[in-house]
Structure 1
Amino acid sequence: MVFRTDNFLAMLLATVGSVAIASPALAEVPWTWAKLSSSTNQVSLLSAGGVARPAAVADCFCPGETLSTSTMARAEALFNDGSLTRLGEQASLRFWPDTRNLYLSRGTAAVFVPPGQGRTTVQTANATVGLNSTAVVVRYVPSRQLTLVMALATAPTGPVLVTDTSTGQEFALYGGQMAFVNGANLQIVEFDLLEFYQTSDLMADLKLGDPTYRPPAGEPLSALRPNLMEALAQQAPFVQEGSILDPALISDIAPVSSPQGVEDGPLNSLSPVEELRRYNDAPPGVVNPLPEAPAAPPTAAPAAAPPAAPVALPAVTTTAAPAGLSTDPAATQPPPGDASVSP
């Protein structure tokens, strides 16, 4: 797995070049309960009163509780509306009653929201991710105050919206794009969906990389799968020839030698790629930089009086790329657009 990227700084300016994003209002189905559908190794539930208990399959993940995983552990929860959440190792996730709000205090979570259920948010300490009828992977590393957001598809209702809570700026993320949010710095790249589906433990057994797969009746992702398959089909194949491993990008987010010090200790002898795969500090995937001036996504016909909305601005390159990074022109092709998106 190779990271191929230039060092991009997103300058979120709500001025010239902004594009209004309008999404139709949908009735929300509030979350009232979730049930653990899968549990691997040490998984626990912490009550609102601070009482912890081991978690097992079929246990209730109730509002106000925190679902936590230890080293090498994973968990999966199915919500009352059919939304599916998968939690990676050393992660903690909480949700509030009668809302569609999740809070990820550490670790990695994959969130799949079926069509028609309403806007869902995933919060970390420095970012808020809004999605509707689509899927994201969110990772928060507390010691680095770093949030990673991966958009797995672009819904007809609009792109994934990410708010940097330190600046208050909101930007759009389309299927196959990944954002690194860290204070005033933002890096947006395109990642390889197929590689991610084939290598990430969080995606195991979902068969998202197999367009010929026909899910059984009642499968949680059946209604969302067409959107995910469309994003996969629209993404141009990644070519690793000429790609360069970017140590600077990896070192900012690379895990460490022991699981006990995953976020703060020195690096070990593993390669950066092996470290990423082993500890999942950043979800795996081959990535490309976005172009300096990507074509604006297609827009829908304007409404008579469009409401105020967040802006979606392209990533902007710094004046000079750091030494050792790829300057292959092929690496600057924009991800395919989605004519059904209304940015």
Structure 2
Amino acid sequence: MFYKSFPLFVISLWGVIVLLPNKVSAITPLTRAEIQNLRNIVQLIPKDRQNKRPAHKSDAMTPGDGLSTGRASLADLRFNDGSLARVGEQAIFQFLPKTRSFRLSNGTALLLIPPGRGQTRIQTPSAAAAIRGSALFVRYDKQTDTTIVGALTNSGIEVSNKEASQTQMLQAGQMMVIVKGEFKGLYDFDLRNFYETSDMVRGLDLTRQNLTPTADPANR
């Protein structure tokens, strides 16, 4: 592995996504989500993969459901425990039943996890990342089988490759690049410039602790 500074423009081109491993039991399972905001082309994918349809603001999602986004598109998902997932353009994103796990099959995503909810996990086909009360981004490029995981906070963010034969703890302003399941580099990036230039964090307060849980769609 090598360690060096990573050009910021590459981050802005690649975008954001999150990953996590399955070592610790969840405290608060993710049971539902609501689409709080969306932009341009966002499709809701039911768990049975049938009847994919355009998504709308306030649509409810349950475990197993997913969404996909088109070019220049974006969606914000608020979960029952207050966690937020921002899904960037050309992404395929799903949250898994009875867990605190997400799956990212392509594109970018950013996760904000409130403290005390338990370990959260997101995985791509080649890597995984575990976080607790943290903010991070992940990007997966399907064509090159490349995953990028970046830490936005110092909260015990751990990245592993697919086989978990390689692991690395990340500090704020560090990111790991994994290509075809192998660690290729640990890099520094400029957090201030990232906050100022990335569309993935625009309008978000990453330091806010009192993230509001969603109401249960079944009780509406």
Q: Is the 8 Å Cα contact of residues 166 and 184 (structure 1) preserved in structure 2?
A: no
Aligned to 2:200: 202
Aligned to 1:188: 186
Aligned to 1:30: 29
| Structure 2 counterparts to residues 64-143 of structure 1, below 5 A | 64-143=64-143
SS class of match (2:169): strand
Amino acid at match of 2:96: W
Aligned to 1:10: none
Q: In the superposition, relative to structure 1, how do residues 27 and 163 fare at CA in structure 2: closer, same or farther (>3 Å)?
A: closer
Aligned to 2:216: none
| Structure 2 counterparts to residues 1-343 of structure 1, below 5 A | 3=7, 28-50=27-49, 51-155=51-155, 159-166=156-163, 168-182=165-179, 183-207=181-205, 222-223=208-209
Aligned to 2:11: none
* Residues matched between the structures, number: 189
Q: Is the 8 Å Cα contact of residues 161 and 183 (structure 2) preserved in structure 1?
A: no
Amino acid at match of 2:34: K
SS class of match (2:143): helix
Percent sequence identity is 37
What is the distance in 2 between the residues matched to 1:103 and 1:27?
16
Gap runs ≥5 in structure 1: 5-24, 209-220, 226-343
Amino acid at match of 1:29: T
Q: In the superposition, relative to structure 1, how do residues 205 and 167 fare at CA in structure 2: closer, same or farther (>3 Å)?
A: closer
SS class of match (1:194): helix
Q: In the superposition, relative to structure 1, how do residues 41 and 97 fare at CA in structure 2: closer, same or farther (>3 Å)?
A: same
Offset of residue 27 of structure 1: 5.9
Q: Structure 1 runs of 4+ off > 3 angstroms?
A: none
Offset of residue 47 of structure 1: 1.0
What is the distance in 1 between the residues matched to 2:205 and 2:82?
18
Offset of residue 184 of structure 1: 2.7
What is the distance in 2 between the residues matched to 1:185 and 1:177?
14
Name the one with the larger strand percent: 2
Offset of residue 94 of structure 1: 0.4
Q: Is the 8 Å Cα contact of residues 113 and 224 (structure 1) preserved in structure 2?
A: no
SS class of match (1:205): coil
Larger-Rg structure? 1
SS class of match (1:117): coil
Q: Is the 8 Å Cα contact of residues 134 and 224 (structure 1) preserved in structure 2?
A: no
Q: In the superposition, relative to structure 1, how do residues 26 and 144 fare at CA in structure 2: closer, same or farther (>3 Å)?
A: closer
What is the distance in 2 between the residues matched to 1:190 and 1:92?
27
TM-score with structure 1 length normalisation?
A: 0.53
Q: Is the 8 Å Cα contact of residues 133 and 224 (structure 1) preserved in structure 2?
A: no
TM-score with structure 2 length normalisation?
A: 0.81
Amino acid at match of 1:222: R
What is the distance in 1 between the residues matched to 2:210 and 2:112?
8
Amino acid at match of 1:132: R
What is the distance in 2 between the residues matched to 1:27 and 1:126?
23
SS class of match (1:203): coil
What is the distance in 1 between the residues matched to 2:133 and 2:183?
28
Aligned to 1:228: none
Aligned to 2:17: none
Name the one with the larger helix percent: 1
Offset of residue 186 of structure 1: 1.9
Q: In the superposition, relative to structure 1, how do residues 63 and 167 fare at CA in structure 2: closer, same or farther (>3 Å)?
A: closer
